[in-house]
Amino acid sequence: MALVSMMALPLGSPFARALATSAAPAGPQKAVPPVPPPQGAPTAATLGLPVYPGAQFLASYDAGRGQRFYLFGVTASFTEVIAYYKIVLKQKGELVFDEPGVYVFEVGRFREDTMAFPPGITIKDYTGGGTKGYPNPKPGAQPSRFPTVVQIVPLPPASPEGPAG
């Protein structure tokens, strides 16, 4: 499952490597239709999770098993974005990689039998190691690069639980 999801991503996708390392769920899988891409930029209301103020919607991808994940480019620093989400989600989250920095906030229980990804918000630093940021996929758009990218995986539509507190 993870390999198929990774192949659907462009090579430069910020979270392609994370998909490659995701373990395939054990046991039989139910066929779940793909979640259609959003019409226009998703909002906090449509995602059920906060979107960093001023974030630019970059793309969304089918995560499989009825889930999508959404990518947003942010001009704020990695540490500023983490501080914002610590306040609005009222949780500390977890630094999962030092270089490049990747920080994760889990917002719901991962159900291996029905989900491809745990619901949550992942923040990645694109300035580590001397890089200039994640390229804006919209030709001629400003900024030309984003120092930080936020990935949001909402709870699946049929999930009865809300964000964890």
Extents of the domains making up the chain: 42-153
Q: What is the pLDDT of residues 38-52, one digit of tens each?
A: 678 899 999 999 999
Q: DSSP assignment of the chain, as one string?
A: -HHHHHHTS-TT-TTHHHHHHSPPPPS-----PPPPPPSS---HHHHTS---TTPEEEEEEEEETTEEEEEEEESS-HHHHHHHHHHHHTS--EEEETTTTEEEEE-S---TTT-SS-SEEEEEESSGGG---EEPSSTT-SSSEESEEEEEEPPPTT-------
Q: Which band of pLDDT confidence, cut at 50, 70 and 90, is reported for residue 32?
A: low
Looking at residue 123, what is its pLDDT?
98
Looking at residue 156, what is its pLDDT?
74
Looking at residue 24, what is its pLDDT?
45
